[in-house]
Amino acid sequence: MPTKLVILDRDGVINLDSAQFIKSPAEWKPIPGSLEAIARLNQAGYRVVVATNQSGVGRGLFDMDTLNAIHDKMHKALFTLGGRIDAVFYCPHAADSDCNCRKPKPGMYKRIAETLNVNLAGVAAIGDSLRDLQAGAAVGCLPVLVLTGKGTKTKAEGNLPDGTLQFADLAAAVDHLLRPKKK
């Protein structure tokens, strides 16, 4: 049985995305139902972590203090609903850097496995872009596409990893994950 862990992309999964990046706490706005879905995962005994590319840091669009303030707003909004994110893993590097942590490379997911001392086989990795799904699939996660954010475009472009599940949004994906399994 997979570890009771869910890995979420941030922009386009938890909060509304922007082609201009989320550069301030004021620009961070949750997708309706997403925070409640995370709280339901927590209440069902799941740990929830975020794995997010944040190349805006590497591009100089915002600094680490701002990124921390955005995440602080996300944590506080979740806390008011009885939810929590156990950890946020991010790649601050620009898209043209040669790091191993930027999705679709699996480095961030490997770091999650090492930090939490868990096997990621079968763990749901929920994202709205192909690179989210590829990074998770590379380490044995169950790829889950949500059609919020870039998800509809990602679905239309195809080439999804084998076994990718698809849902309208994070709330629908969580409904599926929490549905009692048939024996």
Which sequence positions are flagged as catalytic?
9, 11
- Residue with tokens 């309706």, as numbered in its chain: 32
Please give the single-letter amino acid code of residue 109.
Answer: Y
Token output for 140? 């044995």
Query: Cα–Cα distance between 126 and 8 in angstroms, integer?
Result: 5
Take residue 37 and report the two structure tokens written for it. Answer: 């879905």
